[in-house]
Structure 1
Amino acid sequence: MAISTSAPNNTKTHDGSPSGAPLARSRPSRIHRQRLRAAWLCLIPMLLVLAAVAGWPLVRTIWFSFTDASFSNISEYGWVGLENYLVYDDGAWYGVLADPTWWQSVWNTLFFTVVSVGAETVLGLIIALTLNAQFRGRGLIRAATLIPWAVPTIVSAKMWGWMLHDQFGIINDVLMTLGIIAEPLNWTANADLSMWAVIMVDVWKTTPFMALLTLAALQMLPSDCYEAAKVDGIHPVRVFFKVTLPLILPALMVAIIFRVLDALRVFDVIYVLTSNSEDTMSMSVYARQQLVQFQDVGYGSAASTVLFLIIALLTITYLYLGRKQIGGES
């Protein structure tokens, strides 16, 4: 009688373990749990501090927006619901969303954001491309370029406020010496010039930030593409639009979104230069005016909450679109 014997299966998988043996998952899962535990141990203190510093004031601001609280007696207030946001009473609309000054501040903020961030992006890209080239003294020029960004915003705004002064400002003196203007201009009080003066100061202050992030992206580009383009005799302008710009676009978009979020909540440079002028009033200046100057905590909290919701919505939208793009590429 023939007895058939089966030889043991000694084939091995690509990782060296026998094909018939169960995969050892205990060690990777244990390492993964240890890493996850270490990550949470590092994150928990930061989350607690963030909840205490930012979370509690935010919740308290949202709560006050539904009340009639005021600084005269902050401990005594009543619930008013959505009256601080929008309410129809006696044939008219009242609240933040019905205030023409609020919508003027929204328009001022959007105009400031689009123009300033657009100018900073273009100028930052030009400066980054210049600093990325090889020339003598490049390190010194790079350091000097960062000086405006290193100056505190309050200091730079106050400095520019003196230079733009209509009586003894150096800007008017230089322009009159060159024959560009015939008489001094009141840059920060003139309704036609004040917003452009604020934008000019912000562009001077923040363009180095855009240049720094763009320069970091340029430093990471591979040199093979440029060597091949040079051998093929491709024009540098075409190389920029076909090679350089698409490669640095992700980093450039990160820099732009950071600047957009920062510009939407702009306060210091506008308040120092033009105070509460409606011609340049931003949403943050409007909220501060209601809270501090008018002592209306409920109304000012409602304005601050609307500003927070606008910025949060833009942030969530950007993160969602970025996630969809990454998922589509993968």
Structure 2
Amino acid sequence: MVRTADTGLARQRRRSAWLFLAPMLAVLALVAFEPLARSLWLSLTDAKIDKLAGRFVGIENYVGEYGLFFTGESWIDPAWAAAVVNTLRFALVSVSIETVLAFAIALVLNAEFRGRSLVTAAVLVPWAVPTVVSAKLWDWMLQQQFGVVNFALAALGHERIAFTTDYPMWSVVLVDVWKTTPFMALLILAALKMLPSDCYEAALVDGVHPVKVFFRVTLPLVKQALMVAVIFRLLDALRVFDVIYVMTGSTGSTISMSGFVRDQMMENGYVGFGSAASTVLFVIIAACTLLYMKVARVRAEGAP
């Protein structure tokens, strides 16, 4: 009799949960699933910007002479391959640098010192600046003739450098690191604030070196929060568009997958082909996310 009552209560709780989730799921279907489904349908047509009601062509935008893969001359479209490589390189380099810097900043902000609140507010300023504004700001600062960076280099007797021309990818990475490192630092700092103090007090009493304390105490305890911060940044980096477009345009050395989609749709007018590229972009991001979560789960379960 008790088991029957518990089962009925569990069913009632599930119904209540679905009832509360229904509005959110409806909104999610409108703002996420519907555009995704429409993009998938357009990728199966030869729709153009002036004729969205294109004819059904199946997977020709994905595979075939004018598709993304197995074009006849190569197994992948060269322009799309360059966009994929640029995006992955940008994501790996920027997220790696941001993770290291963010951890260092979070450790500093977690320490007790005078004026910590002011320093914390100053660190968060880059994150508060809109991406387009920060990209344009750095574009001006890195300008070869009148930029403040080259002005400082010239004052030191160094030759002026065309950063966005000679080092386009590194210039974009620099701006992204400056912009988004505070976001990761904030997430890691929140995790550091929740750590128990008795672990550090015991390490201090035992005379454990601070480096060992970091690797054996701090890092394992904030691992979950660190993984969340990394996956958030990785997702954002894989769909990067604005900072690259503002600073370098759609050049082959820096164009991202999102930039490739934009060029195919807006510049060339190939909505169907661009939708196919956007669908592949979605699959790549989903695959990277699932792979990262799988690896992180295996490491967490295998940890002592």
The two structures have a TM-score, normalised by structure 1, of 0.85
Counterpart residue number, 1:87: 64
Show structure 2 runs of 5+ residues with no match.
none
Secondary structure at 2:163 match in 1: coil
Show structure 1 runs of 5+ residues with no match.
1-21
**2:227 and 2:296 in contact (8 A); partners too:** no
Counterpart residue number, 1:215: 189
**2:80 and 2:260 in contact (8 A); partners too:** yes
Distance in 1 of aligned mates of 2:188 and 2:108: 11
Distance in 2 of aligned mates of 1:118 and 1:247: 20
Q: CA, structure 1 residues 31+177, in 2 after alignment: closer, same or farther (shift >3 Å)?
A: farther
Q: Which amino acid aligns with 2:185?
A: A
Structure 1 position 182 matched with structure 2 position 159: yes
Larger radius of gyration between Structure 1 and Structure 2: 1
Counterpart residue number, 1:103: 81
Distance in 2 of aligned mates of 1:328 and 1:115: 27
Distance in 1 of aligned mates of 2:187 and 2:75: 37
Distance in 1 of aligned mates of 2:60 and 2:73: 6
**1:125 and 1:211 in contact (8 A); partners too:** yes
**2:95 and 2:234 in contact (8 A); partners too:** yes
Counterpart residue number, 2:121: 143
1:217-236 matched pairs, under 5 angstroms: 217-236=191-210
Q: Spell out, residue by residue over 1:215-235, the C-alpha distance to the aligned partner (whole angstroms, 9 max, x if none).
A: 111111111111111111111
Shift, 1:307, TM fit: 0.4
Secondary structure at 2:253 match in 1: coil
Structure 1 position 254 matched with structure 2 position 209: no
Distance in 2 of aligned mates of 1:194 and 1:186: 9
Q: CA, structure 1 residues 94+261, in 2 after alignment: closer, same or farther (shift >3 Å)?
A: farther
**2:239 and 2:257 in contact (8 A); partners too:** yes
**1:108 and 1:281 in contact (8 A); partners too:** yes
Structure 1 position 160 matched with structure 2 position 134: no
Shift, 1:145, TM fit: 1.0
Q: Spell out, residue by residue over 1:32-91, the C-alpha distance to the aligned partner (whole angstroms, 9 max, x if none).
A: 33432332222111111111111111111111111111012112x1222222112159xx
Distance in 2 of aligned mates of 1:324 and 1:245: 17
Q: 1:287 aligns with which of 235, 240, 261?
A: 261
Secondary structure at 2:217 match in 1: helix
Distance in 1 of aligned mates of 2:272 and 2:218: 50
**1:68 and 1:80 in contact (8 A); partners too:** yes
Secondary structure at 1:317 match in 2: helix
**1:96 and 1:299 in contact (8 A); partners too:** no
Aligned residues: 301
Q: Which amino acid aligns with 1:100?
A: P
Structure 1 position 56 matched with structure 2 position 34: yes
Shift, 1:265, TM fit: 0.6
Distance in 2 of aligned mates of 1:88 and 1:124: 45
**2:136 and 2:247 in contact (8 A); partners too:** yes
Distance in 2 of aligned mates of 1:97 and 1:245: 43
Distance in 1 of aligned mates of 2:40 and 2:109: 46
Distance in 2 of aligned mates of 1:126 and 1:303: 38
Counterpart residue number, 1:312: 286
Secondary structure at 2:71 match in 1: strand
Higher relative contact order (CA 8 A, sep 6+): 2
**1:84 and 1:96 in contact (8 A); partners too:** no
